[in-house]
Structures are given as structure tokens and as C-alpha cells.
Amino acid sequence: MITRRTFGVLAAGTALTAPSIVHAQQVLKVGLIPSEDSRAMLAQSKDILDAVEKNSGYKVQGFVATDYNGVIEALRAKHLDIAYLGPFSYVLATTVTPVEAFAIAETAKAGRTYYHSKIIALKSSGIKTLADLKGKNFAFVDPASTSGYAFPLAGLLKAGIEPKRDFKTVIFTGAHDANALAVANGKVDAATIADRILDAAIAKGHIKADQIQVVWESAPIPESPMVWRKDLSPEMKAKVKAAFLAIKGLNWSDQGKLNGFKETNDQAYDVVRETAKLANIDLKKQK
């Protein structure tokens, strides 16, 4: 079992201790993007990481980064073996370090391997359309977030809205649940969020469903992938993939109960690359 001691917060460039390096063949270091509060992300990932440890035979150590790029940097520095990345942060990672998507989660509730980005506001704000957002205070999640930045940015630009020009203020909160709270508390007029995290925020009572106006929704986005460094040994890759594919019926963070994991590959994320182009995002300049 994974104890609390094996979890940690990982900042970009943080060095692992010498013992971890010495026993690298026995340890599987797993990075997690902070889609929610760091402590919550760690706690809600424990069952999955416990299962990976049991199924693979490796001692699993889980880390959550201070931001999305922290996980990418840790992969590049080989401080991590595998990681849970958002679709866009995965695409970004492939431009700076040899990584590859190998598995995605299928949620039991929706029975699917995709999700949607939304832009939400309070009904009391009177905001109903993207045009109504002009002159308002707006929140994205993180510049490396898929549903919190890349897809909604493309949607805004397609509607003729340039955030820097048309919004009163633009902030990045760093997490989807923080965006829900920012809207609920009136810190911003509207914000981006992944649909499943909005559902989780409603279930937790952070925001009421009847208060929410969905202003915009994206086309389907391929689920957030598990990725590995390409230089891992074939043996480790085989064991890790088998460990994830054997998982059934566990709860995982904002995704809720899972049917399990399915195989995926890099080509599944070409739609994300195309969306980045539509949003005029230069992937090389994101790093």
C-alpha cells in the first residue's frame, strides 16, 4: 500500500534524493497535474496508485506539481517515469521531451473516453452568450490546460473575442475547482472549466447547479492521458501498461468511478494540436 509518506509536492527542477536514483528499477515515480487542489489530487489518486503498485510490482511514488509545466519539466529532467497529463499539456510535453501517451481512463458515469470544456457564469450576471463576456472579468485555469485554456481560447477567437483586448481582466487561477469558486464567489464574471470538475464542484456544494449559466461548450476532447518517458525499458512499459489496464471500478479524482483504462496513442491527440493552431498558440513558445 502507498502511505502518505510516498506522496509529495513536486516543483519544476526539484531533484530527487540519491536513494531514489539508486533504486530506480524498483521505484515507479508518477507525476500528477494539479487539476484540483494539490492535497485533494493526491488523496483522490491514492486508490489508483495503490492498484498500480499492486499490479506492477513496483514501489509507486506519487507527486503533484505546483503547476502543469512542473510535471513536464520533471519528465524532461527524468525525475518522473510516468505522468497524468492533460491533453494539451501532453502535446506541449511532446515538443520538449520524448514522452508518449499509453492509456486513458473511461468513466463509469459517462462510459466515455472524452470530455468537454465549458465557459460558465452565474445566471444572475446576465451573461448568456460569448458576446456578453466583453468588458467582463475572466478566468482561465493554466496556460498549459486543455479545457481550461486551449479549447476555450480557440472558441473565443472563433467568435471574434480577443481576451486581452475584450476582457476587463484576465487571470489564471491554476486549477479548475478554483475557477468554479472564483465564479461562485464573484471574483470573476466567467471562467473556463472541465465538465466533470464542474459536476464535482456542484456535488461538493461549492456552487449550485441552478445558479450556473453555461455560456459555451467545446466539441469532445480526448481524455487526459497517462504518459511515459520513451526511454523506459520495454519491460517497465509492459508492466506499467498492464497494471493500468487491469484496473476496474476504482474512483479517481474528478473523474469519479472508472470502468477502467484503455490503450491510447499519440495520434489521438492530433485534434488538440489542431485546436492549438486555431487558437494561435505557438507550442514552442509555451515552454
Determine the pLDDT at residue 286: 63
Q: Distance (Å, rounded) from C-alpha 209 to C-alpha 247?
A: 32
Determine the pLDDT at residue 36: 65
Determine the pLDDT at residue 94: 97
Rounded (5°) CA angle 115-113-226: 100
Domain for residue 242, yes or no? yes
Cell numbers at 230, concatenated: 520513451
Determine the pLDDT at residue 254: 72
CATH number at residue 137: 3.40.190.10
Determine the pLDDT at residue 129: 98
Q: Is there a single domain that holds both residue 136 and residue 202?
A: yes
pTM of the model: 0.78
Determine the pLDDT at residue 109: 72
Range of the domain at 66: 27-110+223-279
Determine the pLDDT at residue 285: 64
Query: Domain tally for the chain?
Result: 2
Q: Give 10-residue mean pLDDT values along the chain (287 residues).
A: 38 37 70 80 92 97 91 97 95 96 88 91 98 98 93 97 98 95 98 94 93 97 96 98 97 86 96 91 69
Spatial CB neighbours of 119, under 8 Å, sequence gap ≥ 6: 130, 133, 152, 155, 190, 191, 192, 193, 214, 215, 216, 217
